[in-house]
Amino acid sequence: MNYGIYVSYADVKTARGLDASEHDTLLRTYCRAASLAWDRHTKRRFWPLVATRHYDYPGPWRLRLDDDLLEVTTLTNGDGETLTESTHFYLYPLSEYPKWRIDIRRDVGEVFQYESTAQRQISVAGIWGFHDDWDNAWADSGDAVADAGGVNASATSITVIDADGADAWGLTPRFKADTLVKIDSEYLWVTATNTTANAITVVRGVNGSTAAAHDADAGIYTYQPPQDVVHAITRWVMYMYDQKDTGVYETTAMPGAGVIQVPQGIPKDVRLAMEGYTRRRVR
């Protein structure tokens, strides 16, 4: 199961100065709709997906990827051999994320190859998605699994130390509904928090990861999408909320080429931010 909502409705309420809970369901719907629309318009995902992608034999040295790559777990050559990053290949660009190309080192005597057919011979298992600062994409929540004896792979309620305490950045609460967290290598989606019982309700093994048992005291990390993406979608959701009762959906603009109808559904600053993240590379 995949989850990719970039803004918690609780954060939108804070940004908009809302206290009452009467529109929580509506705001959650807007957060999901804006996040999905952002991905659709930019033609990429801004949440991590654990997956294996298969590629045709690309030639001996260079493999161009058709998706944003953040990490390689296993690269399997066409003859079944596992290739190792740095030892056998490099990811490009070297010092930026995401990666979009894999080059075989030409000084180690290794090449891409296949044995029978050139189709779907190279497999790349890894973490896919867009993040421009992947090394800092997971923030320490300052919390950990507090269940005595840890949790098994099917538990949907996890006891924590302090559900509404401050995280490593001093922000509170450290856990909010509609956010992605990580324990060991498993991704979990938080659907609710209980600050009285210090527990979080979660969906296990999301975004291609595998649900697993976790020891007591295992650290919990929260996913941090690119901050300007978060800001843009927060603005978009607030705009949706403010426009919900107006009945105004389009406005008329008169550029030099003539009169056009501009959708009101995306504020101008959000559209500009979106343009900066839209995939344009032909791969």
pLDDT at 2 over 70: yes
In this prediction, residues 3-23 reach a mean pLDDT of 92
Structural domains in the chain, sorted by start = 49-128 (no CATH), 138-223 (2.40.10)
Q: How many residues does the chain have?
A: 283
Residues in contact with 17: Cβ distance below 8 Å, sequence separation at least 6, in sequence order: none
What is the SS3 assignment for 73-95? EEEECECCCEECECCCEEEECCC
* β-strands 122-128, 49-55 pairing: antiparallel
Q: Contact, 96 vs 68, CB < 8 A?
A: no
DSSP designation for 24: H
Q: Contact, 52 vs 208, CB < 8 A?
A: no
pLDDT, one tens digit per residue, over 21-79 is 888 999 999 999 999 999 999 999 999 999 999 999 999 999 999 999 999 999 999 99
| pLDDT grade for 245, boundaries at 50, 70 and 90 | confident
The percent of residues in the chain predicted with pLDDT above 70, rounded, is 92
pLDDT, one tens digit per residue, over 136-176 is 999 999 999 999 999 999 999 999 999 999 988 888 899 99
Q: Contact, 164 vs 193, CB < 8 A?
A: yes
Q: Which of 6, 8, 11 has the alpha carbon at shortest distance from 47?
A: 6
What pLDDT is recorded for position 264?
A: 62
The percent of residues in the chain predicted with pLDDT above 90, rounded, is 83
Whether pTM > 0.75 for this model: the answer is yes
pLDDT at 207 over 70: yes
pLDDT at 253 over 60: no
What pLDDT is recorded for position 263?
A: 47
What pLDDT is recorded for position 281?
A: 59
pLDDT, one tens digit per residue, over 169-203 is 888 899 999 999 999 999 999 999 999 999 999 99
Peptide bond into 173 cis (omega under 30): yes
Give residue 211's identity as a one-letter amino acid code. Answer: A
Q: Contact, 124 vs 52, CB < 8 A?
A: yes
**Distance, CA of 57 to CA of 117 (rounded, Å):** 9
State in Å, rounded, how far the first CA of the chain is from the last one.
27
What pLDDT is recorded for position 255?
A: 47
Residues in contact with 5: Cβ distance below 8 Å, sequence separation at least 6, in sequence order: 31, 32, 35, 178
Cα-only R_g, the chain: 22
Cα dihedral sign for 209, 225, 220, 197?
Answer: negative
| pLDDT grade for 243, boundaries at 50, 70 and 90 | confident
Q: Which of 82, 90, 16 has the alpha carbon at shortest distance from 52?
A: 82
Share the mean pLDDT of the chain.
92
Cα dihedral sign for 36, 136, 13, 243?
Answer: negative
- Quickly count: other Cβ atoms within 10 Å of residue 14's Cβ: 12
| pLDDT grade for 283, boundaries at 50, 70 and 90 | very low
DSSP bridge pairs for 50: 127
What pLDDT is recorded for position 37?
A: 94
